[in-house]
Amino acid sequence: QVQLVESGGGLVQAGGSLRLSCAASGRIFNFNTMGWYRQAPGRQRELVARITSGGTSVYADSGKGRFTISRDKAKNTVSLQMNSLQPEDTAVYYCNADWSTTWGPRDSWGQGTQVTVSS
């Protein structure tokens, strides 16, 4: 059983910054990929950024140059630094982590944290 808890969301003006954090706990200690996804009203959930256990990061085009993902494998945390936020970044942001088992891949999702960017 794995639990992911996000924090750091809130209201910010356009051009501002937020730092989201996600803490994982449970029986899994070594995750493969951890990442951030977001979902705006009426939209499908989409990738924001993800980072592998080896430290390789992938960003969606929407966040390139503005967002930075990082993780602390010892603490099982992943963070997303978001700079130059724009109204189109408004969404619920979800933390995700996956891992491998004998029976195949598994993943877990956090409850989400609201990010609202005003103009």
Q: Give residue 52's pLDDT.
A: 96
**Residue 93 · residue 115 · CB < 8 Å:** yes
Report the 3 state secondary structure along 23-50. EEEECCCCCCEEEEEEECCCCCCEEEEE
pLDDT > 80? residue 93: yes
With 80 as the cut, is the pLDDT of residue 104 above it? yes
- Supply the Cα-derived Rg of the chain in whole angstroms: 14
Instruction: Please check the confidence at residue 27 and state whether its pLDDT lies above 90.
Output: no
pLDDT digits (tens, 9 = 90+) for 34-72: 999 999 999 999 999 999 999 999 999 999 999 999 999
Mean pLDDT of 17-35: 94
Q: Are 53 and 30 in contact (CB under 8 A)?
A: yes
Q: Is the pLDDT of residue 97 over 90?
A: yes
